[in-house]
């Protein structure tokens, strides 16, 4: 984004009173006409800026900018560095590339659009202007076999943050969040490791904020929903990102201090199928049983007619 426009958004977003065009012009060393043009460009881009004659401009709905997001974060680990881009291929790929170049833990990359977004099992993840794509870099002191615990931690953090908007959100094993049975958000965790040594973990997640104006893409073959529809109110990208990152940081710090047990308990409580009959397709066959427990490596335990089965990958359907 143009630096002057980013400044204007931050300035308006941090003020509870109208800010005059003359004041913005003085602060940016620009003409009043230039300020007016920047305001019009921002409004054309979707910023809800109102003009109050004799008083100035106000930002009616906060816009996601680095400055406004930084002001809303109370994190220790997540968000040490923030990167906001309009478009990229894949936020996970970008962050993993930066990790290989020595980027420190805590980087968060947020994109308005992804052109090569991926979900679990290499599936396409659609990231449209009405969606949110975020990836965070962590370097936890974990062996590679424990990294799946961080996917479950991310689900718990998303559930906590989004639950404030829609209380009927549930976690679906292994990496989805549902609202009334429709997919609201997805998680993709990737790592750079070698035997016995983990170098970097990228936590990627996408959230449907609003329904697309032209409808959902035809190649989505499952029920989907969005946060605005689920909550019945206008949803701010800025406030959602801040809530999720703050929750993610709290759970990560708790995980480092107390291990997986608190995450495991919270995940099981928020899981849609805990103690329920489910059908799981593992790529070869359908397995019927009761979701009985979550193991430390992220495996789902099913009680079946043939005994206990460990499910490490597959699609779960609540019966």
Q: Confirm whether residue 120 is marked as ligand binding.
A: yes
Residues written for the chain? 319
Q: Exposed, middle or buried by CB within 10 Å (0-12, 13-18, 19+), for 255?
A: buried
Is there a binding annotation on residue 90? yes
Please choose, from the candidates 127, 101, 122, 152, the residue with its C-alpha nearest in 3D space to the C-alpha of residue 271: 152
3-state secondary structure of 108: strand
Alpha helices in 17-147 (DSSP H): 21-28, 32-44, 66-72, 91-100
- Cβ contact 137:98 at 8 Å: yes
Query: Has 118 been labeled as part of a binding site?
Result: yes
Is 72 marked as a binding-site residue? no
From the CA atom positions of the chain, what is the Rg in Å?
21
Angle in degrees, CA 93, 264, 291, rounded to 5: 100
Question: Residue 130 CB: number of other CB atoms within 10 A?
Answer: 19
| CA-based nearest residue to 46, from 4, 73, 86 | 86
307 is in an annotated binding site: no
Tokens of 96: 């993993």
Is 114 annotated in some ligand binding site? yes
Q: Find out whether 186 is annotated in a ligand binding site.
A: no
Residue 309 assigned ligand-binding role: no
- The b/e string for 241-253 (b: 16+ C-beta within 10 A; e otherwise) is bbbbbbbbbbbbe
Show binding-site residues for biotin. Answer: 90-92, 114, 118-120, 183
Show binding-site residues. Answer: 90-92, 114, 118-120, 183
């Amino acid at each position: 984004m143009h630096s002057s426009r980013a400044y204007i958004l931050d300035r308006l977003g941090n003020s509870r009173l109208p800010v005059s065009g003359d004041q913005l012009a003085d602060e940016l060393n620009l003409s009043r006409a230039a300020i007016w043009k920047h305001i019009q460009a921002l409004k054309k881009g979707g910023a809800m800026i109102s003009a109050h004659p004799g008083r100035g401009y106000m930002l009616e709905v906060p816009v996601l900018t680095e400055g406004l997001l930084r002001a809303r974060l109370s994190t220790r680990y997540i968000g040490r560095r923030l990167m906001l881009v309009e478009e990229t291929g894949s936020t996970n790929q970008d962050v993993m590339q930066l990790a290989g170049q020595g980027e420190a833990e805590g980087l968060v990359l947020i994109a308005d659009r992804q052109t090569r977004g991926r979900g679990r099992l290499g599936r396409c993840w659609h990231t449209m202007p009405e969606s949110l794509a975020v990836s965070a870099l962590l370097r936890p002191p974990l062996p590679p076999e424990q990294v799946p615990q961080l996917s479950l931690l991310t689900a718990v953090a998303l559930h906590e943050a989004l639950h404030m908007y829609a209380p009927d959100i549930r976690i679906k094993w292994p990496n989805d969040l549902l609202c009334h049975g429709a997919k609201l958000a997805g998680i993709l965790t990737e790592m750079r490791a070698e035997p016995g040594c983990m170098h970097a973990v990228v936590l990627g997640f996408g959230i449907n904020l609003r329904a697309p104006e032209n409808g959902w893409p035809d190649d989505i073959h499952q029920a989907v929903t969005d946060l605005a529809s689920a909550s019945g109110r206008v949803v701010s990208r800025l406030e959602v990102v801040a809530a999720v990152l703050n929750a993610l940081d709290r759970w990560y710090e708790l995980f480092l201090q107390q291990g997986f047990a608190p995450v495991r308990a919270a995940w099981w409580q928020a899981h849609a199928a805990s103690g329920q009959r489910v059908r799981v397709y593992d790529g070869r066959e359908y397995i019927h049983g009761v979701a009985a427990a979550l193991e430390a490596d992220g495996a789902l335990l099913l009680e079946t007619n043939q005994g206990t089965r460990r499910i490490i990958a597959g699609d779960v359907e609540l019966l």
